[in-house]
Every structure is written in structure tokens, then in C-alpha cells.
Chain A
Amino acid sequence: MKIAKLIFRNVFRHKLRAALTILGVAIAVMAFGLLRTLVTSWYSGANSAAPDRLVTRNSVSFIFPLPLSYRDQILRVPGVKNVNYSNWFGGQYIDKQHFFARIATDANTFQTVYPEYLLSPDQASAWMKDRSGCIVGQKLADQYHFKIGDVITIVGDIFPGNWQFVVRGIYHGKEKSTEESTMYFQWDYLNEQVLKTMPTRANKVGWYTVQIQNPNDAARVSEAVDALFTNSDNETKTETEKAFQAGFISMSSAIITSLQIVSYVIIGIIFLVLANTMIMTARERIREYAVLKTLGFTGQHLMILIFGESLSIAILGGVVGILITFPMAAGFAKGMESFIPQFIVEPSTLIIAGIFAVVVGIISAIFPANRALSMKIVDGLRQVG
């Protein structure tokens, strides 16, 4: 292509304008990439759910507890292998900024029901022996520099009081996608304290995690469990862990939807930035296009020039944007660790961003190209340049 040189020179004819446009496209591509990553990572929690686990909760709402006595009844349902129970603890560590999940769980069944959390045998038995002991994920430990033997003080809100926990173990995720940002402590410790201070709230659990023998039995077992408690004071709702997490996630679906909308708004902004540059450019060059036509260059040549220029800017901006997405995402991942354990830019996100950049490059050139093509040479030459 003999006119590639002219395309290239045209791109950088106004250096500042070219730089600003490329930067604008790059920043938009990066913002798009980060937002999409936020959305996909948000959903990836649901993907890491185990197929052999069901969650049984109060059918009214997640925030109402269930009696501890249900445990034995659930265990007797055919197909049930094991039952773990937990409470969401809440509370504050230092202040609201230092958020991480704290869960009181039945330590006896924890490791069998959640085999994806790896804990050394020494640490496991140390945790079992210490009522006020807790275990924390590796990421959480790294973030707050928690070491074995450290005392973590939490100011309770759902369960008021000053709570102290001793770090007895640091767990690792079995898979890369397993979260490592939660603190687990013994449910018995919680219950003991609650019995002393607010006895009416004792012996209640937030939810049961029911491990089943065969994942294909999920529907049947769920129905059987819920049937046990129909017409009781606390009816239950049992579903797969995946469905439960998806429901949990969809509580924030309004936020997710707005993030998605914003990511498309960003595509619109890339378009405006680039289209504006291309329209300005083509207007300034009408006379040059007329000269080229005079010399015998055809409409096709002009299209190559204009689309080539627009695409070059879009692709340059797209590449720069994709390159700066990685360090930005790494920084983001660090800051959001305790909220979103998995903040990884997926290749598909980058491909989508790249495709959008190219599409925007093409659309931005349509109007100026059309203008250059339909322009009559004599009119173009009369334009004062």
C-alpha cells in the first residue's frame, strides 16, 4: 500500500491532538476493561460454588435465623452426608474502612464440608482446641499482617460487645479462584457468649450448609429438607450453593446493572472523542482531498485514507488502553481484595474492548468519508484552507 505513509503522517499531523485522542481512547478502553472485570469478578463467586452443597436458610429472609435443633433432622434426610452451620458475625475491625467477612462456623464439620480451604493439621487442631481461636485466609493475613498467635479485636454490632479472637491458623485456597479473605471462628464460642448476654438469641444459626452424597440429588434433597419444616414457625428454603450465591449477588444487581450501563456509556464516549477528531480533521482537509481527486485519486483511495487514519488512532488507543489495564487492574485488585477475592482481567474482556475500539474507529470514519466522497472537486478547491 503506497499511501500507508500518508495515512501515518496524517495521524500525527497535529501531534497534540493525536496524542490527546489516542489517550482518550486508551483511558476509555481501560475504564471499560476495569468495569467489565468488576462485573465478571463479581459473578465469579457464584462459579466457585461446590455442586454437592446446598444452603438451607429461613424462607422469610436470610436475616432471620433457624433453630440449632434442625441440624439433627436435616442429617437424617436420605442423601445428606454432612451438615455445617454458620452465622454471619458482622462487627468492625478498627473502623468501617477495614472490611472483611467474619463468620462463626461449626468447626467440627468445617473442613469436611469445605474441603477447598486447606489448613495444616497442626493449625487445625490448635484451632479446635481454642474456643476463641480463629482462622484467616492467606490474602487477609497478608493484607493485615496477621500472624499465628495475634489477637484480633472486633467490636460487635449484630452481636454487641468487644470480641477477641486468637489467630490459630491461616488457610489457603485449593483452587486459584478460592477466596482467601474471610475470618472463621468457632460457632460454639459465639453461642457461649450469647447465652450469657442475650439468652433468647442463643442456639440459633444463620444458615445450614448441607453436603449431599450425589449432586444429582440436589433437587430431591432440597425438597425433602424444606418438607421437614413446612408449617413450623421457621420454614426453610433450601437451594444449591450456586443458586444461593447467585441470589446473594443479585441483591446488588442494581449496582451491577449500572456498572454495565456505564461501561457502554464509555464506549459512547470513545466514539464521541474519535468522531470529533475525525470530523475536524476531514473538514480541514477537504481541499487536500479535492487536490488528490484532481490528481486522479478515486473515492476508494480517499476511503482508505480516512478509514485508515481513524482505525490507526482507534487501534493505537486500544492497544495502549489494554496495556494500561493490567497495572490498573493489579492496583484495583489490591485495594478491593476483601470485597472481591478474584479480580482478574479476562482475555474476553480485552477482546471485547479491542473489538469496540475497532468498531468505533470504523463508525467514526463514516461521516467524514462520506463528506469527502460526495464533495465536488470544484467546490473542494474553492474552500479556503
Chain B
Amino acid sequence: MPDSIVEVKNVSKIYKRDTMDIPVLQNLSLGVPEGEFLALMGPSGSGKTTLLNLIAGIDRPSSGSINIAGTDISTLSESALAKWRSRHVGFVFQFYNLIPVLTAYENVELPLLLTDLSKADRKKHVETALGVVGLSDRIHHYPKQLSGGQEQRVAIARAIVTDPTIIVADEPTGDLDRKSAEDVLALLEQLNQEFKKTIVMVTHDPAAAEKAHKTRHLDKGELSMN
């Protein structure tokens, strides 16, 4: 197995609700090599989103370690983790999660506001990212002036504009029609092939999983190979 850029080792995740413990992931390990396009499938409630959130550093494991590109993120402080996310992770959500009062351009620019890039440099990056997703002509549109597929492409532009180490996508086509879903998947495939981006994508859609190199199934908190 080549060097993994994502290394999940013996990770358990237990949610506490009131006094009840809800074990979601149990002693789970997973490696994702650099440049891979991995699909995570599994029944609802099996812990796919939970695993993805752990990899993306927006949640912490109850035990075990997560190492991304050489950094053990489970030991980082809250603020160090925030900084790490802004440099290394690009997110794509099911419901796009664009800020409605910002234009496509401004939404994509958001992650760059945390860098010390000049305004001119930010502009270059934003225009490149929007060009990659094919929305150069929609730069000044607000989210509500875009179709669902276009919104998701803006979200993808926002995810890649910082040139992150990995891209995580949680059901990126879950809210889209067939045609838009295909566009989005083609785009992710292109990011993976042309730009060599490592992608971890959660999906319910077998057609989406087909685009990935590899599919892993999660069931009752345990992974199985396809």
C-alpha cells in the first residue's frame, strides 16, 4: 500500500446524548493514498458523515488518531485545527451552504480572506477557481440567482480555491437532478485526474460511486472492502 495521505487509526466515536452513549464508529481504521478518489457508501445512520467530519477536522474522535499529510490532527488545539482546516481541507456539502448575501465571487473569496493574499492575488485565484467549475459568466450572481447545480459548482470552487490537500464531499449530488449531478461528478473527476486532488466523497448514489477509484462500505460503524 502506497503512503497514505489520510490515515485513520483505531478510531472510535461515541456521541453522548443526555446520559445515553451512542457509539457510532468502533475501532475503525482507514488509509487513503494521495491522489485517490474514494467513495464512502452505506445505509443511513451508519456513520459516514461522522467519519468524513473526523477526517476533515470539524469533529474529534473519542479515541484513536487521525493523521493527514503528516499532521496528527486529533492532538491540535481548537484554533490550530481551524487554521489547519483553512489550509488543508476543501469542503463540499449536500446543501451547498453558500452565504446567501454574498455573490458567487465573494463566496469563493471567503476562505482566501484568512490568508495574507493581496486583493489582486485573491481575484486571480477566485477567477481561476470559478473558471475551473465553468462559472466565469456567473461571477456576480447571488446564490438565489443560480440553479442548484450551479450553486454546488460555486461551492466546489470555494473548496478548491485554497488548493487544499484533500477535498471532502458529503453527498454532493444528493440534492441535484440527474444532469446537474453528472456535471458535478464530472467536475470532481476532473479535479482528481487533472489536478491530482485526493477526494473522499460520501454518497448514496451508485452512479456517483462508479466515478470513484474505490468504494468502501460502512455498516454499523465498521468498514468493509468492496
Residues of A within 8 A of B (CB): 2-3, 5-6, 9-10, 13, 287-288, 291-298, 376-378, 381, 385
**Is the beta-carbon distance between B101 and A3 smaller than 8 angstroms?**
no
Residues on the A chain within 8 Å of B95, using CB? 385
**Is the beta-carbon distance between B99 and A298 smaller than 8 angstroms?**
no
**Top 8 closest pairs, chain A to chain B, by CB:** A296-B86, A9-B101, A377-B58, A2-B113, A291-B97, A378-B59, A296-B85, A295-B111
| B37 touches A (CB below 8 Å) | no
In the assembled complex, the CB of B225 is this many whole angstroms from the nearest CB of chain A, namely 27
| A295, A297, A298, most chain B CB atoms within 10 A | A295
Residues of B within 8 A of A (CB): 53, 56, 58-59, 79, 82-83, 85-87, 91, 93, 95, 97, 99-102, 106, 110-111, 113-114, 158
On whether A378 and B53 interact (CB within 8 A), knowing A3-B113, A297-B114, A385-B95, the answer reads yes
**Is the beta-carbon distance between B110 and A378 smaller than 8 angstroms?**
no
**Is the beta-carbon distance between B97 and A9 smaller than 8 angstroms?**
no
Question: Once the chains are docked, how many angstroms separate the CA of A378 from the CA of B91?
Answer: 13
Q: 8 other contacts beyond A288-B97, A295-B85, with CB at 8 A cut-off?
A: A288-B99, A291-B97, A292-B110, A294-B58, A295-B86, A296-B82, A296-B83, A378-B53
A-B contact pairs, 27 of them (CB 8 A): A2-B113, A3-B113, A5-B106, A6-B102, A10-B101, A288-B99, A291-B93, A291-B97, A292-B99, A293-B58, A294-B58, A294-B85, A295-B86, A295-B91, A295-B114, A295-B158, A296-B85, A296-B111, A296-B114, A297-B82, A298-B79, A298-B82, A377-B59, A378-B53, A378-B58, A381-B58, A381-B97
Question: Once the chains are docked, how many angstroms separate the CA of A211 from the CA of B100?
Answer: 75
In the assembled complex, the CB of A128 is this many whole angstroms from the nearest CB of chain B, namely 76
| B56, B87, B110, most chain A CB atoms within 10 A | B110
Question: Once the chains are docked, how many angstroms separate the CA of A110 from the CA of B62?
Answer: 92
Question: Once the chains are docked, how many angstroms separate the CA of A97 from the CA of B153?
Answer: 72
Question: Once the chains are docked, how many angstroms separate the CA of A2 from the CA of B122?
Answer: 12
Question: Once the chains are docked, how many angstroms separate the CA of A298 from the CA of B85?
Answer: 11
Question: Once the chains are docked, how many angstroms separate the CA of A292 from the CA of B158?
Answer: 12
**Is the beta-carbon distance between A291 and B99 smaller than 8 angstroms?**
yes
Residues on the A chain within 8 Å of B93, using CB? 291, 381
Residues on the B chain within 8 Å of A381, using CB? 58, 93, 97
Question: Once the chains are docked, how many angstroms separate the CA of A209 from the CA of B93?
Answer: 85
Question: Once the chains are docked, how many angstroms separate the CA of A9 from the CA of B110?
Answer: 14
Question: Once the chains are docked, how many angstroms separate the CA of A15 from the CA of B110?
Answer: 24
Please give me the residue from chain B that is nearest to A293 by CB atom: B82
Residues on the A chain within 8 Å of B56, using CB? 294
Residues on the A chain within 8 Å of B79, using CB? 298
Question: Once the chains are docked, how many angstroms separate the CA of A293 from the CA of B53?
Answer: 13
Question: Once the chains are docked, how many angstroms separate the CA of A292 from the CA of B97?
Answer: 10
Please give me the residue from chain B that is nearest to A288 by CB atom: B99
Please give me the residue from chain A that is nearest to B99 by CB atom: A288
Residues on the A chain within 8 Å of B114, using CB? 295-297
Residues on the B chain within 8 Å of A2, using CB? 113
**Is the beta-carbon distance between B101 and A13 smaller than 8 angstroms?**
yes
Question: Once the chains are docked, how many angstroms separate the CA of A9 from the CA of B83?
Answer: 25
| B59, B87, B91, B113, most chain A CB atoms within 10 A | B113
In the assembled complex, the CB of B10 is this many whole angstroms from the nearest CB of chain A, namely 21
On whether A9 and B85 interact (CB within 8 A), knowing A287-B97, A294-B91, A378-B58, the answer reads no
Question: Once the chains are docked, how many angstroms separate the CA of A9 from the CA of B106?
Answer: 12
In the assembled complex, the CB of A312 is this many whole angstroms from the nearest CB of chain B, namely 14
Please give me the residue from chain A that is nearest to B122 by CB atom: A2
Question: Once the chains are docked, how many angstroms separate the CA of A293 from the CA of B111?
Answer: 10
Residues on the B chain within 8 Å of A291, using CB? 93, 97, 99
Question: Once the chains are docked, how many angstroms separate the CA of A298 from the CA of B79?
Answer: 7
Question: Once the chains are docked, how many angstroms separate the CA of A385 from the CA of B143?
Answer: 14
Question: Once the chains are docked, how many angstroms separate the CA of A295 from the CA of B82?
Answer: 8
Question: Once the chains are docked, how many angstroms separate the CA of A287 from the CA of B113?
Answer: 20
Please give me the residue from chain B that is nearest to A295 by CB atom: B111
Please give me the residue from chain B that is nearest to A5 by CB atom: B106
Question: Once the chains are docked, how many angstroms separate the CA of A5 from the CA of B53?
Answer: 29
Residues on the B chain within 8 Å of A10, using CB? 101
**Is the beta-carbon distance between B111 and A9 smaller than 8 angstroms?**
no
In the assembled complex, the CB of A203 is this many whole angstroms from the nearest CB of chain B, namely 81
Question: Once the chains are docked, how many angstroms separate the CA of A287 from the CA of B100?
Answer: 12
Question: Once the chains are docked, how many angstroms separate the CA of A157 from the CA of B38?
Answer: 99
In the assembled complex, the CB of A183 is this many whole angstroms from the nearest CB of chain B, namely 63
On whether A6 and B85 interact (CB within 8 A), knowing A296-B114, A377-B59, A378-B59, the answer reads no
**Is the beta-carbon distance between B101 and A6 smaller than 8 angstroms?**
yes
Residues on the A chain within 8 Å of B110, using CB? 292, 295
Please give me the residue from chain A that is nearest to B110 by CB atom: A295
Question: Once the chains are docked, how many angstroms separate the CA of A291 from the CA of B89?
Answer: 13
| A5, A291, A378, most chain B CB atoms within 10 A | A291
Question: Once the chains are docked, how many angstroms separate the CA of A10 from the CA of B100?
Answer: 10
In the assembled complex, the CB of A306 is this many whole angstroms from the nearest CB of chain B, namely 14
